[in-house]
Amino acid sequence: MKKSIKNVFVLVSICAVVSVLLAITNAVTAPIIAENERASANAALLEVMPDGGSFTSVALDGYTLPATVTEAYLGENGGYVFKLKTVGYSSGFVIMCGVNADGTVSGAVCLASTETLGHEKTFGALLTGKTAENIDAVDTVSGATKTTGAYRAAVKDALNAALILGGGSVDIRTEEEILRDRLTAALPAAQGEFEKLFITESLDGVDAVYAAVNRTGYVLVIGDAFVATDLDGHVITKETAQDETAETAMAALLASELSPITLDAYEGLPSQLVSASRTATGNYDLVIKGAGYGIAGGSAYHPASGEYIYIRVSLTRDGRILDCLTLSQAETDGIGSACADESFYGQFVGKTEETYGEIDAIGGATYTTDGYKQAILRAFACVKIFEGGVES
């Protein structure tokens, strides 16, 4: 018994003595270690802002900043350095970006990423010296649009965040958010939920029509104006110069009637045409499939999906595209899948057989773009056959 008490006593006293020794060493070294860490953190910040001197951390509470901003530091030269976390090809894409006091990018580096092609290492250099106004003019790298697009957007967020921290105010909403906010302002009853209508009639001066999902009315985009109508197509608050245009357009839209066309009745129609309808005013509404990467492409790394791109397109009888929409697609995710974005298919609106080729191709997705254009070309051919009236 006595022996084991002695054992425990010795062990405990050794532990106690060692702990005291450690505490003393810690007291001596902790400030030096903290200073080292601060210096190396500062060195990392200096990398994107060489004349920043010594940086101080900025508390971000109380500011409404872009969601990508996670940390901010203020340099002695009045510039800010931001740490941003975004999503490129995959998540966990961390960027550090410096913004000078005059609102130009002093430098940007990628701190961590799981991107695949390595553009995140070099793209920052292209953004240096840019401002919030001209940064969107920097082209993304074709084939790596997700990585470089996210990079550019994050750096723009940093530029905006610098303005906000400097006391300014910036619209940090995305384009979709701005559109939704404007639609809601025109028709509050819709509670922010709209869907874009597919247009099959020639509507003079009208750029787009949105229907409230809860069926409380429509909003027409006419140039810069947003005009709300009720379900019968009457303008709710009559005051703008566009009221007339809106009422005419809505009358045409609501009167529009689609009657299906029997495809077998025509000869020479391309096999890619899935279905077709004609409106009372003589316009055509076609569903046509295009052979993109899913059919025409395919490699060992990215096998073809075997799926067509299904496209809905409406045309006037003289071959002008009224509206265009990608119904479904299974192109390479992150590359050809951009054909489902309005920024791509929206380009075809207003085009004719002579001008349909003047659209911007999807970067790095030749198969997808070519297959899509091929399908649009076939749509023009279909309209000609229908108009030619060669009924068998």
Q: Give the interface segment with other proteins, choosing from 18-26, 67-75, 169-177, 364-372 (CB under 8 A).
A: 18-26
Q: Could you tell me if 162 and 99 are in contact, meaning their C-beta atoms sit under 8 angstroms apart?
A: yes
Q: Give the interface segment with other proteins, choosing from 1-9, 66-74, 143-151, 237-245 (CB under 8 A).
A: 1-9
Of 2, 7, 241, 366, the one binding other proteins (CB under 8 A) is 7
Which tokens go with 363?
Answer: 């970067």
Q: How far is the CB of 90 from other proteins (least distance, A)?
A: 8
The 3-state DSSP composition of the chain as helix, strand, coil percent (nearest 5) reads: 40, 20, 40
Residue 134 near other proteins by CB under 8 A: no
- Count the neighbouring beta carbons within 10 Å of the beta carbon of residue 214: 12
For residues 18 and 263, which CB has a smaller minimum distance to other proteins in the complex? 18
Of 1, 32, 137, 300, the one binding other proteins (CB under 8 A) is 32
DSSP 391: B
Of 1, 2, 40, 360, the one binding other proteins (CB under 8 A) is 40
Q: Report angle CA 290, 199, 292 to the nearest 5 degrees.
A: 10
Q: Could you tell me if 364 and 142 are in contact, meaning their C-beta atoms sit under 8 angstroms apart?
A: yes
Q: How far is the CB of 40 from other proteins (least distance, A)?
A: 7
Q: How far is the CB of 115 from other proteins (least distance, A)?
A: 11
For residues 15 and 101, which CB has a smaller minimum distance to other proteins in the complex? 15
Measured CA to CA, the distance from residue 104 to residue 87 in angstroms comes to: 23
Of 54, 114, 142, 214, the one binding other proteins (CB under 8 A) is 114
The DSSP-derived string for 326-382 is EEE--PPTTTGGGGGSHHHHGGGTT-BTTTTT-SPPPTT-HHHHHHHHHHHHHHHHH
The Cα-based distances of 26 to 31, 32, 34 in angstroms read 9, 10, 11
Of 2, 19, 220, 251, the one binding other proteins (CB under 8 A) is 19
Give the residue among 153, 11, 182, 183 at the shortest CA–CA distance from 87: 153
Measured CA to CA, the distance from residue 194 to residue 260 in angstroms comes to: 27
Of 2, 10, 351, 368, the one binding other proteins (CB under 8 A) is 10
Q: How far is the CB of 3 from other proteins (least distance, A)?
A: 7
Residue 15 near other proteins by CB under 8 A: yes
Residue 1 near other proteins by CB under 8 A: no
Binding site for other proteins (CB under 8 A): 3-4, 6-8, 10-11, 14-15, 18-19, 21-22, 25-26, 28-30, 32-33, 36, 40, 114, 116
